[in-house]
Amino acid sequence: MEKIKTGSVFEIAEVLRDLQRLKGDKELSFGERKMLDTARTLLVKEIAVATKSNEGKIEEKLNRIFAC
């Protein structure tokens, strides 16, 4: 949560990446799932604003990247 609280897109992306990897190894706890959702939402919003894109398209791209 400390990395998410920084507001840095890079830190948030690290959290998302690390939790996605962990999700592949084991079932995430409730707190980890909530953190994953928070990181994903924040990252999608940041990228959408920065690229002036639709959040739905960004979400689709992230899903393809992580093969969700």
> The pTM is what?
0.87
Show the domains of the chain with their CATH numbers.
2-66 (1.20.58.1290)
Q: Which residues touch 23 (CB under 8 Å, ≥6 apart)?
A: 36
For the segment 3-49, what is each residue's pLDDT rounded down to a tens digit?
999 989 999 999 999 999 999 899 999 999 999 999 999 999 999 99
**Could you give the CA distance from residue 43 to residue 62 in angstroms, rounded to a whole number?**
10
Tell me how far CA of residue 54 lies from CA of 36, 46, 58, in angstroms: 21, 11, 7
What b/e sequence results for 27-41 when a residue is b if at least 16 CB atoms lie within 10 Å of its CB, and e otherwise?
A: eeeeeeeebbebbbe
